[in-house]
Amino acid sequence: MPIATVNPATGEVLKCFDPLSPEEIETRLQRAASAFTRYRLTSIEDRGRWLEAAAGILEGGAASIAEMVTTEMGKPISAARAEVEKCARGCRFYARSGRELLADEPVDGSAVGARRAYACYQPLGPVLAVMPWNFPLWQVMRFAAPALMAGNVALLKHSSNVPQSALFLEELFQRAGFGDGVFQTLLMGADQVEPVLRDPRVRAATLTGSTPAGRSIGAIAGGALKPSVLELGGSDPFIVMPSADLERAAEVAVRARCQNNGQSCIAAKRFIVHDSVADDFERRFVDRMGALRLGDPLDEDTDIGPLATEQGRLDVEELVADAVDKGASLLCGGRRPEGAGWYYPPTVVSGVTPAMRMFSEEVFGPVASLFRVGDIDEAVALANATDFGLGSNAWTQDPAEQDRFVRDLDAGAVFINGMTTSYPELPFGGVKESGYGRELAAHGIREFCNVKTVWLGGG
């Protein structure tokens, strides 16, 4: 895949970049290793100040940064601004809570024959981050803010279609005061990742992306005995039970499916509705999906912009065609509009069966599949009938049903009467083929730490 900015709204190639040569990569690896020897000794206060400075730069430049993001990957401009602001919030969260999250953890020395004993969190070294284009800043920030706060240094291999976002991030951390080599962007293709990950100077890896990419990175990291965090795909269920507030559930369902032009790992993708409210929910949901405004993502009134890549649209079209060929019904959408750009309309499909690819594969675009179930057992079974396990949503006012969903949905998160969202304060990650490890909150900052045991004897 060429490393280039191609405007998804027009298909126009705006800027191309050459991938780094092996020699250039070697220079950057040396710089990372050397930066780590200095950076690991910096104080947590300094790191916090630099993260606060990064937040300030993001907030001060939000309008132009958002425009760059929208032009690179097509999300509506309002969503791009919200992403920039969220990055600032993530920086501030770790700047302010880093000391507490990384504090030494004392244990009773007498229980282990010590004068004093504790566990402490120390950085590992250079960490390689392989990142996706769908939230080109936030996906990186939720790794980088905690990793840098903990004293690691970062090497970013970003998606080949967002090189300007990738370069902006390097510049951001530089301008914020992090020293030379603390955060470096490696413009390179996926085929150049393996030697970097195997390099002994690289101590750990994190990948956010598709399940196949995760398998590959996980296998290489495992072979080299390096820790890894994998944040992969999802096909989140959105369950609606009879006691749900249907109006609110339908409104949130549309957002949960169509945020980021339908290209979010934690987008609700499978809508599982109790028979007794299915007709009512379907009408409200389909009406709202059909009313979304598809158009120029730089226009403030646009709800849905183009998909990020031409291939991404072809993939979505293939999944919808497969379902329709095998007997599913289209309740709205399902046909690309005429004209330039990789637009695809909000689409609702009913009658999806296990024979259809959409039943088991992730649809990375604004396409919802609707299912009907007779009771909560069926709802839970269908929700869990997937290889993924990232987020999950359930709508019910019944406390017993809420408890059941919290206990039985096999996913990294469950949101009751709300939509799955990432917050710096909450851990984020999946189970099954959605990956392993956690980002954000305390868990995210400790992933790339050596939990060092300290035992101090008397004398």
Within 25-44, the residues that bind ligand NAP by CB under 6 A are: none
Chain mean position to CA 413: 13
Nearer to ligand NAP, 50 or 238 (CB): 238
Does 362 help bind ligand NAP (rule: CB under 6 A)? yes
Q: How far is the CB of 419 from ligand NAP (least distance, A)?
A: 15
Whole-angstrom distance, CA of residue 190 vs CA of residue 70: 23
DSSP summary character for residue 451: E
Among 217, 244, 256, 294, binds ligand NAP (CB under 6 A): 217
Q: How far is the CB of 275 from ligand NAP (least distance, A)?
A: 30
Does 421 help bind ligand NAP (rule: CB under 6 A)? no
**Residue least distant from ligand NAP (Cβ):** 209
Strand runs labelled E in 91-168: 105-107, 116-123, 126-130, 153-157
The residue whose two tokens read 């917050």 is 423
Does 364 help bind ligand NAP (rule: CB under 6 A)? yes
Contact 24, 186 (CB under 8 A): no
Q: What number of chain residues touch ligand NAP (CB under 6 A)?
A: 30
Does 1 help bind ligand NAP (rule: CB under 6 A)? yes
Which one of the listed residues 72, 83, 170, 231 is annotated catalytic? 231
Does 209 help bind ligand NAP (rule: CB under 6 A)? yes
Phi, psi angles (nearest 5°) of residue 424: -55, -30
User: Which range binds ligand NAP by CB under 6 A, 32-40, 93-101, 158-166, 337-345?
Assistant: 158-166
Which residues are within 8 A (CB) of 303 and not within 5 positions of it... i.e. 6 or more apart?
Answer: 76, 258, 292, 293, 294
For residue 435, which of 132, 203, 208 has the smallest C-alpha distance?
208
Does 234 help bind ligand NAP (rule: CB under 6 A)? yes
Within 97-136, the residues that bind ligand NAP by CB under 6 A are: 130-134
Among 5, 71, 159, 184, binds ligand NAP (CB under 6 A): 159
Does 210 help bind ligand NAP (rule: CB under 6 A)? yes
Does 186 help bind ligand NAP (rule: CB under 6 A)? no
Which one of the listed residues 258, 265, 332, 449 is annotated catalytic? 265
> How is the chain split among helix, strand and coil, in percent rounded to 5?
45, 20, 35
Among 114, 167, 190, 442, binds ligand NAP (CB under 6 A): 190
Chain mean position to CA 73: 15
The answer to whether residue 401 is catalytic is: no
Does 138 help bind ligand NAP (rule: CB under 6 A)? no
Q: How far is the CB of 82 from ligand NAP (least distance, A)?
A: 16
Does 8 help bind ligand NAP (rule: CB under 6 A)? no
Which residues are within 8 A (CB) of 346 and not within 5 positions of it... i.e. 6 or more apart?
Answer: 254, 257, 258, 262, 289, 290, 292, 294, 304, 332, 333, 366, 367, 368
SS3 label, residue 393:
strand
Does 152 help bind ligand NAP (rule: CB under 6 A)? no
Whole-angstrom distance, CA of residue 393 vs CA of residue 66: 29
Task: Count Cβ atoms below 10 Å from residue 54 Cβ, excluding itself.
Answer: 29
Q: How far is the CB of 306 from ligand NAP (least distance, A)?
A: 15
Nearer to ligand NAP, 116 or 255 (CB): 255
Nearer to ligand NAP, 373 or 390 (CB): 390
Contact 233, 433 (CB under 8 A): yes
**DSSP bridge pairs for 236:** 268
The answer to whether residue 318 is catalytic is: no
Does 342 help bind ligand NAP (rule: CB under 6 A)? no
Nearer to ligand NAP, 137 or 331 (CB): 137
Whole-angstrom distance, CA of residue 87 vs CA of residue 81: 10
| The residue count for the chain | 459
Whole-angstrom distance, CA of residue 57 vs CA of residue 298: 22
Among 65, 66, 156, 213, binds ligand NAP (CB under 6 A): 213
User: Which range binds ligand NAP by CB under 6 A, 226-234, 298-306, 323-331, 449-457?
Assistant: 226-234
Find the DSSP H helices in 137-269: 138-149, 163-176, 193-198, 211-223, 246-258
Among 265, 316, 370, 445, binds ligand NAP (CB under 6 A): 265
As annotated, the active-site residues are: 231, 265
Binding site for ligand NAP (CB under 6 A): 1, 130-134, 139, 157-160, 189-190, 193, 208-210, 213, 216-217, 231-234, 265, 362, 364, 390, 430, 435
